[in-house]
Structure 1
Amino acid sequence: MRLHPRIAGFLGQALSHEFLAVQQYLVQSRLCRLWGWQDWAESFARESREELEHAGLLSDQLLRMGIAPSAGALRPSRPGRDLREMLDQDVAIEWSAVELYAEALDFSQRMRDERTASLFAQLLEDEKGHLVHLQETISSLGTHHGH
């Protein structure tokens, strides 16, 4: 099967997006650690590791297709000045991932690239799960005291 250039483009965009998310969550984890919020620091560090795993899966797929993975230049992270702002920034990142992966999944299916479609379906479900978790966390902030 010939590689459609748009599939390669989606994989490259996805890889860049995942590295942006790794950077975002890592910076937030380190900020929380500096502020003494150990639980939040661990939570953001876990998210960073999950996004790094996604980057690994995308890199594997690119390598299988004979393409050297390259995430390109990342935009600066926007960690937020407080917890609510951090979570709002993360919702924006996860939402853009959901949109990207839905479009990439649809295109991969239309091109009958089942392996890539399967990868994008997995990533889409993971990112939807992250989005739901973030939205639930934001909703619970109003009912809890502290950070």
Structure 2
Amino acid sequence: MQGDPQVLSYLDRYLSIELTGYKQYLLHAGLCRDAGLNKLADKQHAYSEEEFSHSGRLLARLLFLQGVPGMQDVRQIEVKTEVEAQLQLDQALVSQAIDLLREAVACCTTVGDAVSRELFQEMLADEEQHLHWASTQLALLGKMGAANYLQSQM
């Protein structure tokens, strides 16, 4: 089945964001675990696994619609050892994902691709939850101070 070129582009662009997120959250989980922040490491690892799962679903849809994935477009990961900087990177990536997903949903509605729209809507809900979590963590870090926040994540 041949997919709409715009939808294929959104699938490919979002696949790039998901693969970037997978690597970024996996790195953050490892850095947190190495620092003894096991609670935060577990959460970051769970987000990494979610992004990996999303990537597989996006890739399957892209291939089904006879698209060609541009998997070389995965972004370079910044290595930040400070938890606040990690959370800010996560928040920025998730915000980009949300913007792209909202555009993708509108595009799918316009071209009549209900299956891709549903996939994008499901992932949009996940990204909104992730943004809420990251924003909450940054707010807590600001209110509690770095030392208290980090202690709560041990």
Same fold (TM over 0.5): yes
TM-score normalised by structure 1 residue count: 0.92
Distance in 1 between residues matched to 2:53 and 2:127, nearest whole Å = 12
Distance in 2 between residues matched to 1:79 and 1:132, nearest whole Å = 23
Q: Which runs of 5+ in 1 are unaligned?
A: none
Alignment match, 1:115: 115
Assess if the C-alpha contact under 8 Å between 2:101 and 2:124 holds in 1: yes
Distance in 2 between residues matched to 1:118 and 1:33, nearest whole Å = 35
Superposed displacement of residue 146, structure 1: 4.4
Q: How does 1:32-111 map to 2 (within 5 A)?
A: 32-111=32-111
1:56 counterpart letter in structure 2: G
Assess if the C-alpha contact under 8 Å between 2:3 and 2:66 holds in 1: no
Distance in 1 between residues matched to 2:121 and 2:51, nearest whole Å = 15
Alignment match, 2:144: 143
Assess if the C-alpha contact under 8 Å between 1:79 and 1:89 holds in 2: no
Q: Which runs of 5+ in 2 are unaligned?
A: none
Give percent identity, aligned residues only: 27
Distance in 1 between residues matched to 2:118 and 2:98, nearest whole Å = 15
Greater helix percent: which structure? 2
